[in-house]
């Protein structure tokens, strides 16, 4: 029994000490839900992007990046996004219950160049009622299936 206890203690020390010293823990991501209002965009850098949806002519959308909203909410970004943080997802819900999901890494320019915009304007005017007041726009996606209209909430969750 003493040998077993000694062996377990030795394995614990040997396996945790070097790794912990070389790989500091990634910040955890707390599950939270953001109710989207005009204050959600307030004070964040504004971005414009031209995008085309289905057969409609191209339009200029304006708003803030989803990544900027997540950063304000305390979600790790860049070099701090690793380990458990890479299991985090963002679920966007519309007023009609439609939902779409993104990984947190998809929203981070340190991981890719994809723009995910929470827009509140189209061609310089507030979004039309059927689209807004807030809408997700992803110009680089071939299908606009995640261009969710009438955004109500942004939920940050960790997948186990």
Tens digit of pLDDT for each residue in 28-71?
A: 577 899 999 999 999 999 999 999 888 888 999 999 999 999 99
Which residues are paired to 97 by β-bridges? none
Report pTM: 0.80
Rg of the chain's alpha carbons, rounded to an integer? 21
From the number of C-beta atoms within 10 Å of its C-beta (0-12, 13-18, 19+), residue 100 rates as middle
pLDDT, tens only, 116-139: 999 999 999 999 999 999 999 999
């Amino acid at each position: 029994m003493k040998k077993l206890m000694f062996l377990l203690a030795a394995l614990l020390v040997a396996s945790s000490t070097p790794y912990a010293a070389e790989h500091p823990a990634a910040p955890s991501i707390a599950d939270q839900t953001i109710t989207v209002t005009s204050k959600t965009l307030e004070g964040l850098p504004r971005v414009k992007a031209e995008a085309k949806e289905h057969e409609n002519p191209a339009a200029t959308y304006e708003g803030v990046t989803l990544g900027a909203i997540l950063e304000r909410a305390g979600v790790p970004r860049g070099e701090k996004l690793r380990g458990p943080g890479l299991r985090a997802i963002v679920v966007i819900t519309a007023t009609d219950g439609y939902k779409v999901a993104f990984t947190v890494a998809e929203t981070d320019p340190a991981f890719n160049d994809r723009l995910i915009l929470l827009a509140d304007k189209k061609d310089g005017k507030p979004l039309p009622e059927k689209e807004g007041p807030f809408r997700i726009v992803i110009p680089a996606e071939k299908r606009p299936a995640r261009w969710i209209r009438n955004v109500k909430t942004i939920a940050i969750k960790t997948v186990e």
